[in-house]
Amino acid sequence: MSNRQDADSSGHRAGPWWWIRHLKSTDSTQDQIFRMTKALIQPPGGTVVVADKQTKGRGREGRSWLSPVGGLYCSVLLRDEDLLARAGQDRARADRLAATLPLVAGLAVADVVESFGAKAEIKWPNDVMILERKLAGILCERKTDAKGETFTAVGIGMNLVKSPLETAAYLEEIVPALQRPITRDNILRRFLDSFAARLDRSDTAAEVDKRLYGRGRTARHEEKKVVIRGVSPQGALLVNTEQGVTEIISGEIIID
C-alpha cells in the first residue's frame, strides 16, 4: 500500500487475494462497494475499499459511525463463490462461513491487537473490546450484484488514535511506545493477512469462546434478562435464562 491512490485510481493487489482501492474520502466504504457491484464490470471478490475518512459511516441498527481521519475504515467484498471455494465447494460449510463472517472478522481484529502483545475480547457478535471499551465494530451486509449474484460486504471500523468518543478505546493505547507510530496501512495489512488465514479455519466458534467478552455477566437481549455463558460450536451465543440454557443467533446484547 505504498502507492497512495485517489478516488479515480483502479487499485492494486496486496498479497495473493486482496485488491485494495484507497479513497481519500467517501460517504461509506460499504456504500462504495454497493455502487461498484451495480456497475457492468464487476469488482472481483477480495476487493477492499479503504477510506481516510467517511462522511456517512454506518454502524449496526441504523447508527452512524464517526469516521474522522486517523481511524481504519474499510469494507471487504466477499462473493458467495469465494466462500464456496474456501469451504472446498461444500455448500453447508460455505453457508456456515457466511453466517460467522462477523466473528471471523472480529478474530482477525483480535489478532492485530495480539500481534502487539495485548489482549482483545470479542463482544458477541460484532464488537472487539480492549480495556473494557470498544475498539472496533463490524458490519456485515449481504446483497446481490448487477448479475444477481450474492455477496457480503464486511465493514470494519477501528479506532487507531484517540477517538472523540470517551466510551471508545483506541489501538495506540495498548501499542508499546517503541512500536509507535502505528500506520493505518500496516494495521490494514495485518488485518487482511489474518482475515484470509482465518477464513480457512474451522475453529472460529472455539476461538471466539476463548476471547468472549462479558462471560458470567448479566445482559439484555430483546427485553429479556440473560446471563452470558459462552459460544456454541456453531457460533451462537449461549446464555442462561429463566427457562435454562438458550442459544441466541442474532440481535443486540446489552451488557449491564
The site for ligand BTN (CB under 6 A) is made up of: 28-30, 54, 57-60, 63, 65, 73-75, 126-127, 137-139, 155-157
Q: Which of the 8 DSSP states describes residue 39? A: S
Shortest gap between Cβ of 69 and ligand BTN (angstroms)?
13
Shortest gap between Cβ of 35 and ligand BTN (angstroms)?
13
- 73 or 198: whose CB is closer to ligand BTN? 73
Cell reading at 192: 487482511
- 94 or 253: whose CB is closer to ligand BTN? 253
C-alpha dihedral sign at 117, 122, 105, 210:
positive
Measured from each CB, the residue nearest to ligand BTN is 137
- 33 or 87: whose CB is closer to ligand BTN? 33
Q: What distance in Å separates the CA atoms of residue 72 and residue 159, rounded to the nearest whole number?
A: 7
Shortest gap between Cβ of 251 and ligand BTN (angstroms)?
13
Shortest gap between Cβ of 142 and ligand BTN (angstroms)?
14
- 36 or 94: whose CB is closer to ligand BTN? 36
Shortest gap between Cβ of 92 and ligand BTN (angstroms)?
28
Residues 6+ apart with CB under 8 A from 15: 192, 193, 196
Edge-first strand order for the sheet with 133-144 is 12-14, 18-26, 47-54, 72-79, 150-158, 133-144, 127-130, 121-123
**Of 131, 111, 1, 134, nearest in space to 60 by CA:** 134
**Of 188, 231, 191, 187, nearest in space to 209 by CA:** 231
Directed axis angle between helix 184-199 and helix 101-114, to 10°?
130
- 74 or 98: whose CB is closer to ligand BTN? 74
